[in-house]
Chains A and B, each alone.
Chain A
């Protein structure tokens, strides 16, 4: 597992401020549809990685299947990246999007 260190080294203060501004706020973890993964597999992954209950996991799985995408988690950038990595380990297609409504 990778560790997430933002602004590592001795960056200039302006850079740190800019980086914090860009990465601050609420981030959505978005799972995109793919033509391969089984519904039961995706549901199981949501339960295992995100701690969802069966019904919630199935609801998100159906969103992915029918709408092509589902926001499965939202929160701070560091934790969003951790979830993104774990879901990618399960070979799901996952992106992060800044939640503009939270800005």
Chain B
């Protein structure tokens, strides 16, 4: 029987972010989020490479999306099967990358990195995007700390 990781988030903090989260998920169906190139040795292999990466990314996003189910939104409690942990971790990164390139594109890297975004000086959309960005980082930290205490 596989191990399950369990963690809790504040549902009051998560609920307002879910709409933005879901719209990001929908935007990630056709494009890779990371700025990556396949090895340039062969065109056919390069196409297969990119298709496989996109399929892998879709699995990541799907697993993460399923995590934000009614139980998490109602109680803040979420469980992750050990075999899905990699997908969830990668899904968080994929969404953070797309947020960085879209909603949060006008901010400096170092400000985002150390959390120095002044909430009072940003738009409502940026505030929600930043909330999702931080939420996904917290989720990654929680999971990694349980995997490798």
Contact = CB atoms under 8 A, between A and B. Distances in A.
User: Per DSSP, are chain B's interface residues mostly helix, strand or loop, or mixed?
Assistant: helix
Contacts of B44: 8
A63 interface: no
Contacts of B39: 81, 84, 96
Interface stretch (B13-21, B75-83, B88-96): B88-96
Contact of A37 (B57, B93, B112, B141): B93
Interface residues of B, number: 34
Interface stretch (B3-11, B46-54, B115-123, B124-132): B46-54
A44 B140 CA distance: 11
Interface string A69-103: 00000000100010011001111111110000000
B41 interface: yes
Contacts of B45: 2, 4-5
Given A1-B52, A6-B42, A41-B93, A91 B34 contact: yes
B37 A91 contact: no
Of listed A1, A36, A47, residue having the most chain B CB within 10 A: A36
A41 B35 contact: no
A93 B101 CA distance: 15
B37 A95 contact: yes
Given A6-B41, A36-B97, A91-B93, A44 B144 contact: yes
Interface in A1-24: 1-2, 4-6, 8, 19, 22-23
Contacts of A47: 148
Contacts of B100: 35-36
A55 interface: no
8 contacts: A5-B45, A22-B41, A85-B49, A88-B34, A91-B33, A91-B57, A91-B97, A93-B35
Interface of B: 33-37, 39, 41-42, 44-45, 48-49, 52-53, 56-57, 86, 89-90, 93-94, 96-97, 100, 109, 112-113, 137, 140-141, 144-145, 147-148
